Amino acid sequence: MPIAAGALKRVKATVQQTGLSRPERGDNIRGAFRVPDEGKAAVVGRRLVLIDDALTSGATVEGRARALLRAGAANVDVLIFARVADPARTSI
């Protein structure tokens, strides 16, 4: 399976997400990722799998997936290795 490790780049510095609310995390990550011209061939029209180590609020994964879709990806599925559970909600 081909890997397009360089197809997505962080283009905006963000503050650490720890301690931010869910809406603040979304605002923080907005516009932080994009697909550079040299990465578009690996993205346009393709079904992609975005792999991340952990999911907390989902803001970072959502920002990355949106950037891939804006660049022309046909579909973006996400594979997460760990989910951080919110102690105020029922467990998964």
Q: Where are the domains of the chain?
A: 9-83
pLDDT at 81 over 80: yes
* Cα(91)–Cα(57) distance, integer angstroms: 15
How far CA 8 is from CA of 30, 35, 59, in Å, comes to 14, 5, 16
Tens of pLDDT along 5-21?
889 999 999 888 888 88
Tens of pLDDT along 23-45?
888 888 999 999 999 999 999 99
